[in-house]
Every structure is written in structure tokens, then in C-alpha cells.
Amino acid sequence: MSLLNIAGFVLIFGVLVFIHELGHFLVARRNGIVTEEFGFGFPPRVVTLRRGRGRLVVGGRSIIVPAGFQLPEDLVAGSHIRYETTPDKRGRPVLSKIDLDASSDAPSDDLNTVTLVDPGTIYSINAIPVGGFVRMRGEDGAAGPGSFSSASAKARAATLLAGPMMNFLLAIVLFSLSAMIGQPAAIPGGRIGEISPGSPAEQAGLLPDDRIFLIDNTEVRSATDIGDYIKTRPGEPVTLTLERDGQRFTVVVTPRVSPPPGEGAIGLAVLPVTELVRSGPIEALATGVSDTARFTYVTLSVPAMLLRGAIEPADARPVGPKAIFDLTSGAISATQTSGLWYPVLQLMGILSAALAITNLLPIPALDGGRLLFIVIEKIRGRRIDPNWEGAIHLAGMVILLGLMVIITYQDFASPIPLPNWLAPVGR
């Protein structure tokens, strides 16, 4: 377990979660939902970077609260205030001075009555350096004006969907970048690997890295074509057309009828021939969209494939942080070996799409579970009590944490097989 692998895991997983939470944050702000904190990493808080721009609504008038402006601690919706503003470049009122007017007995519709308080988002760095979070006012219960709970069903649904949609968008970008940077693709032919001493291949003068193009004037489309053809010609001479150092030549070899144990009929290993294939921007974008759609389709098809017996249950099990760490370590090692970034980009694209799909599952505490409550609300014509909904999501979170413990144990007890990131992709 190297420091590079640990740092890579933190960075990769952190980017995916951060982008997810950024989606929630941007759309929440767009819909007038007060975002109390946007954190880098998970609590406890270590550093408060700054407090962003906020907003007051006073007597129906929206007033900008400058970044870092300190509002009175006791200021709440319903407070009466005395205040002054100055216009910004666009003529919008910007708060310059504010005092609580505790003695005022003005009615609730008075022009100096505050109806919404948004002191601005706290941007923070937290102790657990993985991902991030956004804390919205009233996310798990009723909390008055500006809260998530008091927002319209449309605003709540858009805010919840924004996180997974950002992950889908990120997956498209990552798969597109991978296609632009280049991926190894199998091309016609086979490359000679190891040659057995005393074999027909050695006697014919073949060398490792010779490339085979034809066998008896039949084009070699893949490395397996050679073995398949030779098996049908024991004891019969076959002609191989090869290339070495840019020069083509032919040799004749006779496959052995009874080769020694562990050796093939002509005594050589044939490896795939690959080349790095790069796509232009338009083609790469199309690849990014299709790769994201294909991964999503395959993932959603897993239950049906299990029922049909097309895959084993062990191949469809969920994975936890331990397995994700192993995957990121393998991708980082492949990038170090190849000098290319596509293994890391491919893995990040897969994980980003997987994070989006997982969060859309209709399970309490996940975005999909919260969306399910909105669907039920629209069907019933009235909301479920936000406090009850919050309690259900809390229970769901406890269950999910318990499942995560079980999944992590499985990751240690039975590690998942790691993909060969340097294997050629089909074209």
C-alpha cells in the first residue's frame, strides 16, 4: 500500500463525490434553497475558508448580503430591522448596515420585517479528506423560509437529481477524454512471444516480436486465429508470412502431431497486436455518451442477468471502499506502466456512472429514496410529514452503514478480480 495509491484513491473518490455534491449545491442555490455549508471532505471541520454571499428578503425586497458580512446572531425570519443598502454595478441593493429593531411593534407586513435570512454559505475544509458535502437548511425536517422542506416539489426534485446528473455528465467527459488520449485496440495479426527450445518455430528461425500476418495466405485477424488454424493441420506444412524490422518474409513450419506437455504444435506463444487509437473531439464525445449509456444499461440489467443465470452472484456483488481502493491502485499502476492516463480515466468514468446509478436507487437516505417521497407526494396530493420523512431517511442511513460494513468485510475476505487495464479493447 503505497502513498501514491492512497493519495490516488483519496483524489479519485474525492473528485467523484465533490462533483456530486456540487450539483446539489448549484441547483439548490438556483432554486432559492439556503445552503448553510459546502465542505471539502467530511466533518469535523478543520478550517473555515470563507462565508459566501447571502441574501435577505425584507418586506418583499431581496437584498444581497456581501461575502463575509456578519449578520446579527439573533436575526431570524420575522425579525424587525433597520438597515442601509448601496447599489452594486447592476443596480441591485447590497446590505451595508443592519441593526435589530427589537422595540418595533410593526405588523408582519411592515417594510422592515425580515421574511428570509440567508447568511451565505460557509466553505470549509474538513478532517476526513474524501469527497465533500452540502448542508441545506431543513433537509431532514421543516425549517421555515428558504429550507429544502419548504421548497416546491419541482425545486426539491431538481436539486436531488442534480447530483446524479453531474456524475453522469462527468462520466461522459472522462470517457471522452480517455478516447481522445488513446486506448490500445487490437489490430489484425499476431505477435510472437515466447518460443520453446527445439520446437519447429525455433528450427524455422522465428524470433520473439516477429509479427504474423498470413497463415497459408489466410489473413490473421487475431492472435487466436493462428492456434485455431494450426490445430486443424497436425503434421502438415503451413506457410507463415511474417514481418521483422520492417521486412516481410515467409517460413514453412510443420505442426507436431504429439507436442511435449505444455507446448503447442509449433512451440510458440502468440500475443495480440495492438496500437494506440485516438479519437477526434466529436468522435470522442460520441464514445463518451455511448460508453456511459452502455455501462448504465449493463448495470441496470444485472438483476435480469442473475435470474437468467447469465452471470454468477459473485460477479454481481456490490463493492465497498476496500475494493474501490484496489481498483484505483490497479489503474494507477497501469498508468505508470503505460505512461498514459486512460486506465485512470476509464476507472473514474465507471465509478462516476456507478455513483449516479446507486444514488438514484429508491432507497431511503439516497437521492432516489427522497425522490420517491416526492412521487408519493404528487400521487397523494399532499406531503408526508417532513419530520417523519427525515426519521425514515435516518433509519435508511443506519441500514446502509450496516450493509457497508458487511460489504467491506466481503471485500477483505474475497477480493474482487482486478481488470487488465492494458488489455486491448475491441474495435
CATH classification at residue 195: 2.30.42.10
Query: Grid coordinates standing for 76?
Result: 431570524
**Residues 407 and 318 sit within 8 Å (Cβ to Cβ):** yes
Residue with cell 492472435: 223
Confidence grade of residue 426 (pLDDT, cut at 50, 70, 90): very low
**What DSSP designation does 416 have?**
P
Average pLDDT (184-209) is: 90
User: Cβ contacts of residue 191 below 8 Å, gap of 6+?
Assistant: 209, 210, 211, 212, 223, 270, 271, 272, 273
Q: Which of 235-239, 295-299, 367-371, 422-426 has the lowest mean pLDDT?
A: 422-426
Q: Name the residue range of residue 221's domain.
A: 184-277
Amino acid at the residue 398 = V
Question: Residue 243 falls within a domain, yes or no?
Answer: yes
Give the C-alpha separation, 159 to 157, whole Å. 5
Question: Residue 299 falls within a domain, yes or no?
Answer: no
- Selected residue with higher pLDDT from 306 and 423: 306
Question: Residue 194 falls within a domain, yes or no?
Answer: yes
Question: Residue 269 falls within a domain, yes or no?
Answer: yes
pLDDT at 424: 64
Q: What is the count of structural domains for the chain?
A: 1
Angle, helices 281-300 vs 342-359, to 10°: value is 50
Average pLDDT (95-109) is: 73
**Residues 139 and 52 sit within 8 Å (Cβ to Cβ):** no
HSE-up of residue 237 (Cα within 13 Å, Cβ side): 5
- Residue 31: what are its φ and ψ, rounded to 5°? -95, 15
Whether residue 44 is preceded by a cis peptide bond, meaning omega within 30 degrees of 0, is yes
Nearest CA among 197, 191, 195, 210 for reference residue 251 = 210
Question: Residue 195 falls within a domain, yes or no?
Answer: yes
Give the C-alpha separation, 65 to 117, whole Å. 10
pLDDT at 195: 93
Question: Residue 302 falls within a domain, yes or no?
Answer: no
Q: Would you put residue 267 in left (φ > 0), alpha (ψ -120 to 50) or beta?
A: left
Query: Grid coordinates standing for 289?
Result: 455518451
pLDDT at 388: 87
Question: Residue 332 falls within a domain, yes or no?
Answer: no
104 has pLDDT over 70: no
Give the C-alpha separation, 248 to 335, whole Å. 33
Question: Residue 262 falls within a domain, yes or no?
Answer: yes
The helix/strand count (H/E) of the chain reads as 10, 13
Q: Calculate what percentage of the chain has a pLDDT beyond 90.
A: 65
